[in-house]
Structure formats: structure tokens, C-alpha cells
Amino acid sequence: MKLLKVRLFSCVVGAVLIALLLTTAVAQAQAAPWTVVPSPNPGVAGNELLAAASVSANDVWAVGEATTTTGQVALTEHWNGTAWSVVPSPNVGSGNNNLFGVAAVSTNDVWAVGLSGSGGNASNVLQTLIEHWNGHKWSVVSSPNVGTQNNQLAGVTAVSATDIWAVGNFEPAVNVAVQTLTEHWNGTAWSVVPSPNVGSGNNNLFGVAAVSTNDVWAVGLSGSGGRGAQRHRHRLRQRHLGGGVCDQQRGRADGDRTVERHRVERRLQPQPQREPQHP
């Protein structure tokens, strides 16, 4: 009987210690702080990072734009496990180039999407911009545009190297509400996949995520009508078994700009403290 009591007492003490250790670990995890990680700012009049994608802990990409004395240019930065650095990326046309989304398939297969401008304030037309990293350099990959007015992409997601989706919006005509734009990469070329719109106002998709080939989600908003004043409602859209849905919009207002510097922040997970081992 005495031996049984000792064993029961040991079990209770062990259970209490395990509970205390787990409680401490959870509390530490919840209190883990975000820390600012230094990142380069090549633009003299502003820098923005708008999306990030990771291959591994020492292979992370961030994309955005840098504002120079002549306009905005594409900005791609890479984390090698130690520091962030700017990696040169191409620009198209003489207008602004902005990257809004990035997705990583592997170290040698990373995609970034956004827009490029033809230049000029009066006749500047935005076009879709898609860039690809092959492990050595970024290059522009041809992407379709709908109509002759503005087109832009805001989000991208990858199922595999031959199954990638990008979402955005296009303007059918001048001063006409924008409509959803979804594009797909089949391993060879990008193509437009029809996607629905809701109401008579702007329809925009800002993000996209893929569960599998037959299960892709895109999110954004739809307007009740009119470009001047309209109500926006968030929308969840899903592509299923050959159906397609995606749409987004990125609006940028021209005018005075303040100098901005982007910040990269990282949430570090503290390691739970180990209790000393006793023989």
C-alpha cells in the first residue's frame, strides 16, 4: 500500500509539472514579440513592400515599389537567413512599375505580379506585369490584357510549377466600372480565365489562395453601382472543378507624396526554457 501511494504521488507531481511547463511555453509563445529587421531602401522618394513569400527560413522574397526621381520602379528584396538585400528586377515602359503580389514554388521558381504604366499623365494606360525568378535573375513574362484600358494584377498563388493563378481587375472602357480579372499559368503561357462580377459597380480582387488544383479562393469587393459613390461589400469567391473566379483592384491617387521608408518586421518564437535534468 505504501508503494502504491508513492507511485500515485509521483504521478500527480509529474502531471502538475507537465501542466506548468506547458502553461509557461504557451504564455511565452503568446508573448513572442515582433521585431524590426533592417531592410534596404533604394528609392530616394519612397519605398514600399506589399507582399512576401517564403521557400524556407533562409529563402524569403518581398516585393513592392521604390520611388525614384523619375517615378516608381519594381522592388524585389531577398532574405538569405542573415540579411535582406535588393535583387535587380526589370521594368516595362516609361511609366510606373509596381509589384503587389508574390508566390514561391521553389528556390528557382518564384512569381511576382503587379502593373506597369506606358508613361505620360494624359495617356498613361496600366498593363498587367508578371515577373519570374529562375534562381538567377528576374525576367518579365508576357501576360494578357483585356481591352485597351487599365489592367492590373494584385495577388498570385501557386499550386505547382504548372498551375498558378493571378487575380486583378481591368477597365472595359474609360470611366466604366472595373471588372474582375483572373489569369492562369499552365507551365507554358498565361491566359485569361472568365470570372463573374456582382452588381453594376466596381468589382475588385485583392488576394488569392490555392488549396489544390480544384479548390482556389479569391477575395475582394463589389460595388452597388456608379464610379463616383458606391457601397462596397467584401466578397469570397471560389473556383471549383473548372469554374473560375477572381477579381481585385489596386487604386493609386496621384498627387503630393511624402518620403516613406518601409519596415520589415519579424515575429520571433522564443524557445521554452528547459528545466534542469536531475539524475
Q: Could you report the per-residue pLDDT of 46-92, keeping only the tens digit for each?
A: 999 999 999 999 999 999 999 999 999 999 999 999 999 999 999 99
Asked if 203 contacts 154 with a C-beta cutoff of 8 angstroms, the reply is no
Give residue 228's pLDDT: 42
Mean pLDDT of the chain: 81
43 CB-side CA count, 13 A: 28
| Grid coordinates given for 200 | 453594376
Give residue 276's pLDDT: 47
Question: Which pLDDT tens digit goes with each residue over 10-30?
Answer: 544 455 445 555 555 545 556
Give residue 118's pLDDT: 80
Give residue 32's pLDDT: 79
Between the alpha carbon of residue 73 and those of residues 45, 83, 97, the distances in Å are 11, 22, 5
Give residue 120's pLDDT: 55
Q: What is the Cα–Cα distance from 32 to 230, expressed in whole angstroms?
A: 41
* pLDDT digits (tens), the chain, 279 positions: 555 444 544 544 455 445 555 555 545 556 679 999 999 999 999 999 999 999 999 999 999 999 999 999 999 999 999 999 999 999 999 899 999 999 999 999 999 999 999 865 556 899 999 999 999 999 999 999 998 899 999 999 999 999 999 999 999 999 899 999 999 999 999 999 999 999 999 999 999 999 999 999 999 999 876 544 444 455 555 544 344 333 333 333 333 333 444 556 565 555 555 444 554
Specify the long-range contacts of residues 102-106, CB closer than 8 Å, at least 24 apart.
102/51, 102/52, 102/53, 102/61, 102/62, 102/63, 102/156, 103/53, 103/156, 103/157, 103/158, 103/164, 104/53, 104/54, 104/55, 104/59, 104/61, 104/158, 105/158, 105/160, 105/161, 105/164, 106/55, 106/161
| Grid coordinates given for 133 | 525568378
Tally Cβ neighbours within 10 Å of residue 218.
30
- Fold classification of 40-253 is Neuraminidase (2.120.10)
Q: In the chain, pLDDT over 90 holds for what percent of residues?
A: 63
